[in-house]
Amino acid sequence: MLKIPFILFSLLLPALASAAGPDAHLALLPAGAEASLLVTDAKTGKTVYSHDAETLRPPASVQKVITALAARLQLGNEYRFNTDIETEGNDVIFRFNGDPSLRRDDIRRLVASLKRETSIIRGNVYLNGAAFDDFELADGLPWDNLGICYSAPSSSISLDDNCAVAKMVFTDNNNTQIDFQVSRDAPINIVEKLELTDGLEKRYCKFKLMADNTNQYTLGGCLGRHKIPRFLSFAIQNTELYVAEIIRRELKHAGIELQGDVIRNDRASGRIIARHESAALPELLDEMLKDSDNLIADNLLKAVGRSYYDEPGSFDNGVSAVKAVLQEKAGIDLAHAALADGSGLSRNNRMTATQIMAVMQYIYAHPELKLMDAMAEAGKSGTLRYRYSLRGDTFKGRVRGKTGTLYGTYNIAGMMSTASGSALLFVQMVTNYHHPDYHRHEKREIRNFEKKFYQSLYSMK
């Protein structure tokens, strides 16, 4: 039998207890759920705890830290998305470059600049979206979510988050007639085919949404009357059609007569007469990481592809560029990671906890990038502000990270300051999570697991 001196054994006990803790907490997950966990010392890089860290799993929105690092290294702090108005002869060109933060008021200000040049457009208005290719949806997106704003298409011609908001209300005292109040009279069409129910909704009749390429949205299935009024957010399906109509309306609002039409033409170019610039990259990354903005992430992925390859940005060249940039500039090898987008929304994405940890370690080792500061902070900001498992004074201000959630997937990658004053980097990837009583107790086990897991990390020595 191996004999260990008593003093050495006593010194090992705290470490052994800490290492055993996370394993014990895995039993809190429901049957069938799987997890990859990896914890390292932030300063030394040494592994503190590891469980199944080499298995490929969906990264979900944790993937945004990969997009953020690649964008920061390739595009630089001063990068901004530009939107220009150009003129050529009798024609006017709106040149879009994929600004995910562009708003209708920005278009209005550009049109006001145009009005100072002319009050009549004798030719056409051309929409130039050559910055990105025409494929606005990544492979692996679930079709049933495409009408919802977090699945908004990644387009060079982007406006108002590629999202329209409407309020569903009753128009009669008997609660039988429904109408929709569309924000800023957005050019969309809503068709209502709902079966209204009293009390609980029918068990096998869910609220459903269908969307088509004309920006028409059909609401069907069942909905309880008690859930009306309610706000609905619709992902714009045809960004070109949507923005063309917005521009027609803004020209009319400014008193500019358009004698031609609004047409897509990616070859049109002219003399720049007005420009709108987005916020600089750090501000975009801050919003993307704290609030998990999918459109910013996907459009930045395409911008990285465009910058690296000097061709229209796409999901394909964006993914290739991200891998190349991280290998060349950070020494991070993601050759065996399966990436399909920049947001993590595609179900085709697969990464290991080890691969994500390599990115987190680089971010921690390079504070000048300010990417760790851009992540959500437990109890204070972003997607960690109200996360159940990290509530309370113990974790408030001590944990920063990026969350990622898909159906059956609960991930976090971040940094924790422990009770002993040390800094830990961690990656949590939980997949195939499903509770038998899904609708009533969906998150009970994952909340319990996370709370115990992070308490064990906080107490680790």
Residue type, 273: I
Give pLDDT tens digits for 306-316.
999 999 999 99
Judged by DSSP in three states, 139 sits in coil
Which tokens hold the place of 127?
Answer: 């929409």
CA dihedral 281, 284, 286, 292 (to 10 degrees): -140
Judged by DSSP in three states, 380 sits in coil
d(CA 136, CA 134): 6
Helices within 51-103 (DSSP H only): 64-75
Mean of pLDDT over the chain:
94
- Percent of the chain residues topping a pLDDT of 90: 88
Count of residues making up the chain: 461
Give pLDDT tens digits for 352-398.
999 999 999 999 999 999 999 999 999 999 999 999 999 999 999 99
* Per-residue pLDDT, 200: 66
Burial 254-275 (b: 16+ CB within 10 A, else e): eebebeeebeeebebebeebbe
Residue 77 contacts residue 282 (beta carbons within 8 Å): yes
Class of the CATH domain delimited by 22-78+281-459? alpha beta
Instruction: Give 218's strand partners.
Output: 191, 210
d(CA 403, CA 382): 10
d(CA 133, CA 352): 30
Instruction: Give 272's strand partners.
Output: 86
Residue 52 contacts residue 229 (beta carbons within 8 Å): no
Superfamily of domain 82-135+239-276: D-Ala-D-Ala carboxypeptidase C, peptidase S13 (3.50.80.20)
At residue 441, what are phi and psi to the nearest 5 degrees? -130, 35
Residue 401 contacts residue 384 (beta carbons within 8 Å): yes
Peptide bond into 229 cis (omega under 30): yes
Helices within 104-167 (DSSP H only): 104-115
Give pLDDT tens digits for 386-444.
999 999 999 999 999 999 999 999 999 999 999 999 999 999 999 999 877 655 567 88
Residue 336 contacts residue 17 (beta carbons within 8 Å): no
CA dihedral 283, 284, 288, 291 (to 10 degrees): 50
pLDDT at 87 over 80: yes
Cα angle at 329 between 326 and 331, to 5 degrees? 65
pTM of the predicted structure, to 2 decimals: 0.93
Give pLDDT tens digits for 142-153.
988 899 999 999
Residue 57 contacts residue 431 (beta carbons within 8 Å): yes
Residue 454 contacts residue 417 (beta carbons within 8 Å): no
Judged by DSSP in three states, 294 sits in helix
Q: Kindly list the domain boundaries of the chain, sorted by start residue.
A: 22-78+281-459, 82-135+239-276, 143-235
Beta strands in 215-373 (DSSP E): 216-224, 230-235, 257-258, 262-264, 271-277
So which residues are the catalytic ones? 61, 64, 292
